[in-house]
Structure 1
Amino acid sequence: MTFTTISRSLLAAVVALVVSCCLDWEVQAADMGNCLLCHKYPGLSRVDEAGRMKLMFVNEDIFNKSVHSKVKCEGCHTDITKIPHDPAKPVDCLTECHIVEPTSEQKFSHKEVEKFLNNSVHSKIDEKGRPKQFSEDMPSCKDCHDNPLFRPLAFVKKVRPGIAEDAMGRCRVCHKKEDFIFRFYNHITTRMHKSRSPLNIAQACGKCHDDPELVARHNLKTKAGYSYSETFHGKAANLLDESVPDCLDCHVVKGKSVHQMYGNDDPRSSTYPANRGNICNSVDCHPGASVKFANYKVHAEYSKEQSPVIYWFTTFFIILTGGTLLPLMGIMFLDLLRRLFPNATIMRRRK
């Protein structure tokens, strides 16, 4: 092989590498620390000091479609400064991100959310700043937020989750960079509606509110997730209807953050007796509904202690239904036997 041939081969390899890097620039730009060099392998895992298996695989395609897709790895894993790195510390969601919030031109942070939570029914501390009893039961960021994917709103001709190509076409009239169009459209439209379906929200809340031990420790009256699923709204949610109200529609004051949730006995709460009428008679639910309409017990369970009227009323109809159908089924069964065995007898007649 001549020197010229070797030179041409090396030149071709360099050109191919440059082209590959250019085509993959978006991916490389999102992973400045080259973390995916190792974390792209599905089998990457380790056993920690406590003997627990930890999976460290990062699905790049899913992450790039998530709400944190523009956040660099180093933006959350601030303790990692070298490669190979030491075991990573747990991520603190209150860490300032490298993203600049455009209205204030300051680095973005979730610290405002912490203020909301510390003043809500889910706070780990009381009004005097002391830890509540069973404060470990209160949810943390990751209990509710599991890095959900964008659910862009397609509002052209039919309202459905997904990309509205007609709307994207209008963006392309002015904006030329395809990456900017896609990211901006996702960012805006996914915040115009909920990123989770009513069923998904009910399941997320039910992880705690359907736990018998947690319900007993905090003297909660019902298993909220289960009782919701037994209502008309819950049954529609189980059929994947996204127009029905979920936990957040009723337990969060309209226009407030979902983190500003208060107890039923708090005058600020949307479920406070004097405020319940504003939930049902909103323009999205039952416009014109009276205050009495909102007195319907959404979380009533089949319990003699909690709802004696519903308990006895349901019991009466169970007995009535059983007392009617069981004898009728018995007669039908005996008639069927006679038709199948017309000459059969239980006792022979004496001659």
Structure 2
Amino acid sequence: MKMKTLAVAVAALACGTQTFAAEIYNNDGTSMSIGGHVSINLNGSDEGETDVGTNSPRINLSGKKDIGNGVTVDAKGEWQLNYLNGGENSFTTRLGYIGATHEQFGRVVGGTQWSPYYDVAGVADLPIAYANDFLYENHNNLGSGRAEKMLSYRKSFEFGEGFGFNLGLGWQGKQTDKKTSLEKVDENCTVKCAVYEKTTKTVYDARGQIALSTQLAGFGLGYVYSGGDVATGTMTKDATSHIFAANYGEYGSGLYAAIVYGMNEYFYEGLEETVQLEGLLAYGFNNLTLSVNYESVEDDKTSKTLFSQSALQAEYAVTSSFYTYAGYQFDLGNDIKKAEDDSWTLGARYYF
């Protein structure tokens, strides 16, 4: 698999089920395009009210230029569209990076980007409605999804027809995150309690990740490691994650199957050891994709399930750029006395 093929595959994975971009300029080796999607959902659950919502709407602007000597430079900005809420915060940043790609030497990207970690762990994060929740737990700082302030490198190695080996490296510098919460002055108070504002500062030391993956005859295998110190107050721990993933087929076209298994230490706030599991089985035919997924996270130190859930979903391509979808997610319970909450969604998505 050549590097340009890998770059296309990674881009498609990062954007989910479909990727569309309308080219608005192309001249003398320079091109520019606009893309993204908007969606409207009707959502409901056992514990909540039925309401109208969205599903990760976004707009992006990207450009690339061939600068010679086999090097192509590209840049992308992507923003979440907060069009249902109004107010001043109409856009929030999702992606912003500059990259350079050489077919022989690989690809380097700097900025807020989909990480090499996600290249491996995201193989089950494909349905529109319900997918990998655990990947997005503090993903900006830990680099498990869209990683902020990351420098990454990817390289593909080809060994014969249909067999490729991919290497991904990621690095984030030191970052500081502050969270503000309201705390009771008297912890025993139950009515009209006096509160104060508490600020917790978390320092993320330089973090690194390495991702390895391969493809052969429709099957894919991958492994990724992420590690780096995280300090909260006087406590400093090495927050690590090991992810193993396997997948088969192409989502939306015939049979697709994927499984992701993770082992973590201090990767989730307040949890020493966790184990995560995600499975996806889907079948696409006649513009319809049916899928079932399962996801769970367990506190491995106490052997308690933090959450477990499974969803049945359907996506129908009315046209190549307009999809309707429906899903029902079953809450399969937990061991931390949190109320179970089945949920459902019915919606439509338009791709630019």
State the TM bucket, normalised to the shorter chain.
under 0.3
State which structure, 1 or 2, has the greater radius of gyration over its C-alpha atoms. 1
Specify which structure has the higher proportion of strand. 2
The higher-RCO structure (CA 8 Å, 6+ apart) is: 2
Specify which structure has the higher proportion of helix. 1
TM-score normalised by L of structure 1: 0.21
